[in-house]
A and B are shown apart, each in its own frame.
Chain A
């Protein structure tokens, strides 16, 4: 069959909401875009374990400690499903992880910000997971089958994390003056980076058009960002806290909140590696990987020995 016919069949499936499966023909660029996006997503889950893991040892109550450990462990699990989804496109986990470790593959820039107080655990759950969910709910309907199915499972856990994050901030917002201050400070620091999670403005986004046509994405960066702002601007009222944007205002004409200008210089700087923790995050992942080398090697050798013994026994 001619490539243009294959491409037609492919686009027809997408237009008719039929999922693309691993063995189906797909354009190279579709495969590459999915590999890039799914592996970035997997890396984000795994790197995201660091800023939150940072507070496990210091969680202020046993209940909060249990919630946090379970949450970070969930993120690791999400990383696993996503690496597996990406593998269905013909790339190995080792290669993806290597790309992360040498700085070639990206992960969500949000995790290059430091977690500085206990309230950050709540703010990350509420704002960062909240922003991620909007993207992920959309991805439950993405055109690549294994990715869409992984997202369905992930979304269930993420929405639970967001509620836990909000609830944790709610307790702080009703606590002592110091706790209230801690809560507001965390919101101030995480608000703008959360808005940046949706990526550049539509007018600046290079990958958007093709991704929309292929239904990898179904909403634009700006649409998702606006949806997030509208949601959070209401929820913050329940906390009795404020968002650090004096231009944030309900607009009756658009039926949306207006908001201030995002600092895109900061965004591009963090993407390029100049965020507060880019270096530390990669150092931590590389260190864990390098120090685990002998463990993985031993496991491999032992597995081979065991297999040989079984064969000898059988013979």
Chain B
């Protein structure tokens, strides 16, 4: 009876977890210590959000399921994260742009979810919204700084846009479980574009015109990157089945 809600929660959890996993790769390797700490902090926030969603999903799946079973024992084809989240970090431009695309979407989505009919989901979204507000501000500032910084940083932003734009359409193509959840994709998309245009204009970056969008992540058809992410992330749970950590 809760299938669509469970799937929706897994989708939210998987996306937050995979983006957290990607961002955490910067830890110790950031361009300057303050920003190393900032991106690691965003990674930690996203991980916390994913845990809240997994824990809620686990209660719906059944008494034997845990957050770790859902994160560590599902395969590539069962993961429902956005394709954007699993894309490689690339350079700092690509990382901050990925974060901006995602945080702008997540901000608008959580705003809706916090007043939605499911109390538990609304509470998780409301709590996360405070964090996402910061992620959005931080990533917007970086997009502007790099877009309007040096010639090199501008060029790198253009390359990042070229790399990542095609994964943004998936935000607004509803999977079956999102249709059941009655998420209003059209209004989300309009608000997201508005935010994007405002930030890109200040960043002196062009709004991409190509409209072909990749999709599949939400229904388990991923890019080739996800398998490697999971292989690394899940290795201890897979090597020592049933062990407690």
B41 at the interface (CB under 8 A from A): yes
Give residues of chain A (31-82) contacting chain B, Cβ–Cβ below 8 Å.
46, 49-50, 53, 56-66, 69-70, 72-73, 76-77, 79-80
Does the CB pair A57–B236 fall under 8 Å? no
List A contacts of B156 (CB < 8 A). 294
- Interface membership of B150, Cβ < 8 A: yes
Chain A residues lying within 8 Å of B240, measured Cβ to Cβ, are: 176, 178-179
Chain A positions 237-253 with a Cβ under 8 Å from a chain B Cβ = none
Q: Please, what's the 1-or-0 string for A281-309, where 1 marks a CB less than 8 Å from any CB in chain B? A: 00010011101111111110110010000
Shortest CB distance A47–B (Å): 9
Q: How far is the CB of B124 from chain A (nearest CB, A)?
A: 15
Contact: A305 with B148, CB < 8 Å? yes
Chain B nearest CB from A127 CB (Å) reads: 19
Tell me, rounded to whole Å, the shortest Cβ–Cβ distance linking B85 to chain A: 14
Smallest distance from the beta carbon of B58 to chain A beta carbons, Å? 11
| Residue B91 CB within 8 A of the other chain | yes
Contact (Cβ within 8 A) B48 A79: no
- Mark contacts of A204-246 with chain B using CB atoms, 8 A cut-off: 1 yes-contact digit, 0 otherwise: 0000000000000000000000000000000000000000000
List of A residues within 8 angstroms of B35 by Cβ = 295
Q: Establish whether residues A66 and B33, one from each chain, have CB atoms under 8 Å apart when the complex forms.
A: no
Residue in contact with A64 in the complex, picked from B44, B54, B149, B245, CB distance below 8 Å? B245
With an 8 Å Cβ cutoff, the count of chain B residues facing the other chain is 48
Please determine whether A284 and B28 come into contact, CB atoms closer than 8 angstroms.
Answer: yes
Measured CB to CB, the nearest residue on chain B to A179 is B243
Given the known inter-chain contacts A57-B21, A295-B153, please indicate yes or no for A62 contacting B146, CB distance below 8 A. Answer: no
Find A298's partner among B72, B146, B233 (CB 8 Å cutoff).
Answer: B146
The answer to whether B2 has its CB under 8 Å from any CB of chain A is no
Q: Are B243 and A178 in touch, CB under 8 angstroms?
A: yes
The yes or no answer to A262 lying at the interface (CB within 8 A) is: no
CB of A57 within 8 A of CB of B152, answer no
Shortest CB distance B244–A (Å): 6
If A58-B233, A295-B32 touch, does A72 touch B27 (CB 8 Å cutoff)? yes
Asked if B244 contacts A58 (CB within 8 A), the reply is no
Query: Measured between C-beta atoms, what is the minimum distance from A239 to chain B in Å?
Result: 16
Asked if A92 is at the interface of the complex by the 8 Å CB criterion, the answer is: no
A53 to B211, CA, bound (A): 38
User: Judging by beta carbons under 8 Å apart, are B41 and A62 in contact?
Assistant: no
Beyond A66-B48, A294-B150, A299-B149, whether A80 also contacts B37 by CB under 8 A is yes
A305-B71 Cα distance, complex, nearest whole Å: 45
Is B168 an interface position by the 8 A CB rule? no
Q: For residue A178, which residues in chain B have a CB less than 8 angstroms away from its CB? A: 240, 243
CB <8 Å contact, A73 and B145:
no
CB-contact partner of A57 in B24, B48, B145, under 8 A: B24
Q: Would A118 and B236 count as touching, CB distance under 8 A?
A: yes
Alpha-carbon distance A168/B153, docked complex (angstroms): 43
The verdict on A27 contacting chain B, using a C-beta distance below 8 Å, is: no
Interface residues in chain B, defined as those with a beta carbon under 8 Å from any beta carbon in chain A: 17, 21, 24-25, 27-37, 40-41, 43-44, 47-48, 50-51, 54, 67-68, 71-72, 91-92, 144-146, 148-150, 152-153, 156, 232-233, 235-237, 240, 243-245
Sampled A-B contacts (16; CB under 8 Å): A50-B28, A61-B68, A62-B68, A64-B245, A65-B47, A69-B24, A73-B27, A76-B33, A80-B37, A118-B245, A175-B243, A178-B243, A296-B32, A297-B149, A297-B150, A301-B150
10 additional A-B pairs beyond A66-B47, A69-B40, A118-B236, beta carbons within 8 Å, are A57-B24, A57-B25, A57-B233, A69-B43, A77-B37, A80-B33, A284-B28, A295-B35, A298-B145, A302-B149
